[in-house]
Amino acid sequence: MFASMTIILVGVLLVLIIAASIFLKFQGKEEPAQGAYVSRVTLMTPAEQEFHRVLRSSLPVEHYQIFSKVRMADIVDVQKGMEKKSRTSALNRIISKHVDFLLCNPSDSTIYAVVELDDSSHSRQSQKRNDAFKNDTFAACAIPLVRFPVKTSYSPEEIAAQINTAFGR
């Protein structure tokens, strides 16, 4: 009798422990409430829109296709053969970052270069680390990265010259 009561109590205790661990695992991971999201209305900031307009007029459409707000994980991949933990960590570093503009071949989407528009936020320490990570990552992948400071106006000739310099032209 005592042995069967002990088995029942241990069983109940195990069920409670499992239920508690499941509850704790999913606590705080509930689905966002209806209405938790709102439209950003525009994809690009006014500064990005102005730069994009001049960038488009600076580069011949038959040679360049311009994409905006592209995730780094869509441009570079994590090396195969890494340990799972290292691979996941590397992937997590690129999955939530994006670049301002991506220049590609319009016929086959071969990646030519990344273009970043640097505003005053790039003087913050956290942004400097982010910029250094992007610089190092794209350099390691042999993808030119061209940076332009945010200005009130841009010269199409200067933009074209700086991009051509990145390609060694």
Q: What is the pLDDT of residues 3-62, one digit of tens each?
A: 666 677 656 666 666 665 666 666 656 666 778 888 989 999 999 999 999 999 999 999
10 within a domain of the structure (yes/no): no
Amino acid at 54: V
34 within a domain of the structure (yes/no): no
**pLDDT tens digit string along 122-151?**
777 878 899 999 999 999 999 999 999 999
Q: Other C-beta atoms within 10 Å of 92: how many? A: 11
Q: Please, which residues have CB within 8 angstroms of residue 30's CB and are 6 or more apart in sequence?
A: none
Q: Count up the domains in the chain and report the number.
A: 1
Do 99 and 72 form a contact (C-beta atoms < 8 A)? yes
87: domain range?
46-166
69 within a domain of the structure (yes/no): yes
CA dist 146 and 139 (Å) reads 11
Count CA within 13 A, CB hemisphere, residue 67: 19
22 within a domain of the structure (yes/no): no
* pTM listed for this prediction: 0.75
